[in-house]
Structure 1
Amino acid sequence: MAIPTEPIGSIPRPVSLLHAIAGFQTGQISEAALQGAYAEALRDTIELFEQSGSPVISDGEQTKPSFATYPLAGLDNLAPDGLTIPFADGHVRQLPRLTAAPFRYGVHAASYLQAARAYTKSAMKQAVISASAMSLLYPADGIPGYPREAFLTDLIQEAVADIRGALDAGAVCVQIDFTEARLSLKLDPSGNLLRSFIALNNRVLENFSSEERSRIGVHVCPGGDHDSTHSADVDYAELLPDLFQMNVGRFYLQMASERDRKRVLSAVSRVIGSNHLVFIGVIDPIQQEIETPAQVRDRVLEAASFIPIAQLGTTDDCGFAPFSDDISTARDIAFSKIQARVQGTAWAARDLGV
């Protein structure tokens, strides 16, 4: 396929896995039975990805508690009362709060990729959480004996290890999930918070070669959880000039759900660099209606009128179930949408003669 296409990451967990998780939490099933359910969900997800024709697949984040909190598994220096993130429909997600030094990842993303490799030889990507998101765990009033800069030094070391581990484990590309980018402009319209996030992420990225950074990308969206968003009202035009200062080779941009895509695509055309590959969202995971390949094709052709074809790719706006308890989208709908993305992108490539 001349126009690359990739998923963002998460796929709704099968009902059998959700029942197993609930059963384990209530003591009705064993740890071994839970791990068996995880393994079966992973196997089935990979099989369905391959059936969709997707040239690059992921593990669907089947065994992650969420796209954001996977590094925190097993840590005992956290409290539950961290930053809250309100969504438009009224529900809230809350991050934990770091209570003591040192900050270390309990789990690195490479472990998910290595587990998935038991079921496939397909090209696989790996999503990782941004250092800027993890920086939100540090409390505003500080931690005695552990100044913020010491925390950031530890955080950068862990974030570098997370990305490098995924690359070394064979990921064709690594996607940094930076959903707090757009949210930061809601919290701080001056843009200072956003710029501080980008500076922190660039401190991570400076540890990689230019060739490695060409395989590292950043994903932004207005959030997508239980069919709601946290920052869709923030104008993309306020985000893009700073976002494209991220020292990565790939940008994964939510676009299908934008009200005025042409305006945003025009803004992208003004900030894209010659070394950038931009994956435009052509699938809206929040909407239950399944896009047709023809709709996808038309969205790709629209994007191609603003972005050089050699620098254009397609993706989904965001993951379909970034938190393990999100059942707002059915699993079969998610894969039908993915299949439409793959087919519609191929149709657009044919029409563009590439």
Structure 2
Amino acid sequence: MKTLLPTSTSGSLPKPAWLAQPEQLWSPWKLAQDILPEGKHDALKLSLHEQQCAGIDIVCDGEQTRQHFVTAFIEHLSGVDFENRETVTIRNRYEASVPRVIGAVKRTRPVFVEDAKFLRSQTSQPIKWALPGPMTMIDTLYDAHYKSREKLAWEFAKILNQEAKELEAAGVDIIQFDEPAFNVFFDDVNEWGVAALERAIKGLKCETAVHICYGYGIKANTDWKKTLGEEWRQYETIFPKLQKSNIDIISLECHNSKVPLELMELIRGKKVMVGAIDVANHDIETPEEVATTLRKALKFVDADKLYPCTNCGMAPLPRHVARAKLSALAAGAELVRQELVQ
């Protein structure tokens, strides 16, 4: 029997302190190279256990084997130079030292497939795997070869499709593409961004999702949000195109945001992962607060298509905070679930 209001996370969860420095992105590994793979899988099992203890229905790897949700994929591709970096402004918001594309990008071997097989072997629950989206990938590096955002995105889309097909074969139930760049480059999204995403999911039979949020709870993102005014209407520009796409699920930010909830009407008919947990502060939501967000969303999303979720990844949060937030998410969803079945 299918679970009503199945809960999930957006992707990343905090890493244990013995694996990497807590509460920061791009945190260097603490383990030596020869024992790092085992340590990553130990952390993956721990992250899975914490999701299960919290009552999460659709589980993931917590991105325990990756330093960053984008560069951890790019570093496995040929044609990219990680030694001679460039500083770029990511999503028009903050500067970062990133790798350079110096030749034709190619996937010479699977990137996350073995990790996905390991996760699949640890649980019978539905599993979700996150990949970076093509547009967000090109915004997280310096292109010295293609000199065209669209051309490079298309090459990445083809590479992502190769990886996604192998993840599907490994038993992944939902493949999610993270596209925070969709909330910034609206013209590109509508002109070729959604088309590139469609290329990335071509031929897949498992469910597909696109996660579009306002970013991790880091200062650059929270400062940016303060400039967006009383209503955040970015989704309004891109939802109509996504509603017509073949993507099954759209994941968005909701709780503690200024996104007008009626914008979800623009994707009526799609499954929606509604962010009911704020990742930008350490306050623990109560189950009732989560339930209130979900009840509001149900005005615009059919109950059988609503997936309670987190606003974004929780890698920068303390582990105890993330655990408590996950428990609140599951408990809040259960409150609404009981109301719906009465």
> Is TM > 0.5 for Structure 1 vs Structure 2?
yes
Structure 1 counterpart of 2:254: 255
Matched, 1:108 2:102: no
Q: Deviations over 1:88-144 (max 9, x none)?
A: 6xx533442200124336653323212323433332111111122234478666459
Identity %: 21
Equivalent-residue separation in structure 2 for 1:164 and 1:349 (angstroms): 33
Are 2:77 and 2:106, in contact at CA under 8 Å, matched by a contact in 1? Answer: no
Matched, 1:34 2:36: yes
Deviation at 1:4, TM superposition (A): 1.9
Greater Cα offset, 38-47 or 238-247? 238-247
Deviation at 1:84, TM superposition (A): 2.3
TM-score by length of 1: 0.82
Q: What SS does the aligned partner of 1:18 have? A: coil
Structure 2 counterpart of 1:221: 213
Equivalent-residue separation in structure 2 for 1:179 and 1:104 (angstroms): 23
Pair 60,6 (structure 1): closer, same or farther in 2 beyond 3 Å: same
Greater Cα offset, 57-66 or 221-230? 221-230
Are 1:81 and 1:94, in contact at CA under 8 Å, matched by a contact in 2? Answer: yes
Structure 2 counterpart of 1:188: none
Equivalent-residue separation in structure 1 for 2:69 and 2:195 (angstroms): 22
Q: What SS does the aligned partner of 1:31 have? A: coil
Structure 1: runs of 5+ lacking an equivalent: 186-190
Structure 2 counterpart of 1:283: 277
Are 2:12 and 2:62, in contact at CA under 8 Å, matched by a contact in 1? Answer: yes
Pair 332,105 (structure 1): closer, same or farther in 2 beyond 3 Å: farther
Are 1:195 and 1:242, in contact at CA under 8 Å, matched by a contact in 2? Answer: no
Are 2:80 and 2:102, in contact at CA under 8 Å, matched by a contact in 1? Answer: yes
Structure 2 counterpart of 1:54: 56
User: Which residue among 269, 272, 292 is the counterpart of 2:267?
Assistant: 272
Are 2:19 and 2:40, in contact at CA under 8 Å, matched by a contact in 1? Answer: yes
Equivalent residues in 2 for 1:325-340 (5 A)?
A: 326=316, 329-340=317-328
Equivalent-residue separation in structure 2 for 1:22 and 1:149 (angstroms): 32
Deviation at 1:36, TM superposition (A): 3.5
Matched, 1:164 2:165: yes
Q: What SS does the aligned partner of 1:17 have? A: coil
Q: What SS does the aligned partner of 2:276 have? A: strand
Equivalent-residue separation in structure 2 for 1:312 and 1:75 (angstroms): 35
Q: What SS does the aligned partner of 2:127 have? A: strand
Equivalent-residue separation in structure 2 for 1:43 and 1:124 (angstroms): 13
Two-structure CA RMSD over aligned residues (Å): 2.9
Structure 2: runs of 5+ lacking an equivalent: none
Equivalent-residue separation in structure 1 for 2:98 and 2:89 (angstroms): 6
TM-score by length of 2: 0.84
Matched, 1:350 2:328: no
Structure with the bigger percentage of strand: 2
Pair 133,245 (structure 1): closer, same or farther in 2 beyond 3 Å: farther
Are 1:70 and 1:107, in contact at CA under 8 Å, matched by a contact in 2? Answer: no
Structure 1 counterpart of 2:16: 14
Equivalent-residue separation in structure 1 for 2:28 and 2:111 (angstroms): 25
Structure 1 counterpart of 2:197: 201
Deviation at 1:152, TM superposition (A): 5.5
Pair 37,195 (structure 1): closer, same or farther in 2 beyond 3 Å: same
Are 2:103 and 2:145, in contact at CA under 8 Å, matched by a contact in 1? Answer: no
